[in-house]
Homo-oligomer: A and B are copies of this chain.
Amino acid sequence: MEKKIITISREFGSGGRTVGHMIADRLGIPFYDKELVDQIAVESGFAPKFVEEHGEHSPGNSLFSYAFAPQGVPGVMNGLSTADFLWNIQCSVILQLAEQGPCVIVGRNADYILKDRPDALHVYVYADMAFRADRIVRRYGESDKSPEARLQEKDKRRRVNYQHYTGRTWGQAQNYDICLDTSDLGIRQCADIVCGIVENSKKPRDPSQD
């Protein structure tokens, strides 16, 4: 079946976002990353920065559970925690985007949200610690914490969020159609491999080769 929707789940600093961007450019289809955050912000009433910072956080983080309901929309959260409220909107936005046509969606557990679409190709992008540490320093600069500590913190948040909302283990190969280590394969080659799969998916498959 032709693959039209590509979801990219990625370790922070692995270059997964860049891989996704290259694929979208190459295939001439929309790329949703920040755009997704903006749309969730519009539909939820939260500020984009808040959605970006909290949408992939641990749902059990008591500092923000129930704390910051959007102004002017009383009762809109229906008793849900902020995280659950954002999750519901995130699901609905991602399902709608996939309905609109071919696209690349980065992050936000889109692999799980679109798991029942046979035209979706689910990609997981990761890299070794040294590669990721180098990239985040080049991209976001130094901070008080070591790059390794920043990566571990982010990994933990994504892992807990993913486990909570999907019941799956973050980084388990079986959740995806293909998993790619950018530190070993290089970012461009990872994009090439995914584009090749999308191109091949347009041809009929020969079942005798399975």
Chain A positions near chain B (C-beta within 8 angstroms):
15, 121, 124, 126, 131, 135, 169, 171-174, 176-189, 193, 196-197, 200, 205-206, 209-210
Task: Tell whether, in the assembled complex, residue A181 and residue B177 are in contact, meaning their CB atoms are under 8 Å apart.
Answer: yes
CB-defined contacts of A183 to chain B, threshold 8 Å: 210
CB-defined contacts of A180 to chain B, threshold 8 Å: 178
Task: Tell whether, in the assembled complex, residue B185 and residue A178 are in contact, meaning their CB atoms are under 8 Å apart.
Answer: yes
- Taking the closest CB of chain B, its distance from the CB of A179, in whole angstroms, is 4
> In the complex where A126-B174, A178-B181 touch, is A197 in contact with B189 (Cβ < 8 A)?
yes
> In the complex where A189-B200, A197-B189 touch, is A176 in contact with B177 (Cβ < 8 A)?
no
- Taking the closest CB of chain B, its distance from the CB of A173, in whole angstroms, is 4
- Taking the closest CB of chain B, its distance from the CB of A175, in whole angstroms, is 9
A15 — nearest CB in chain B belongs to which residue?
B210
- Taking the closest CB of chain B, its distance from the CB of A78, in whole angstroms, is 36
CB-defined contacts of A184 to chain B, threshold 8 Å: 121, 177
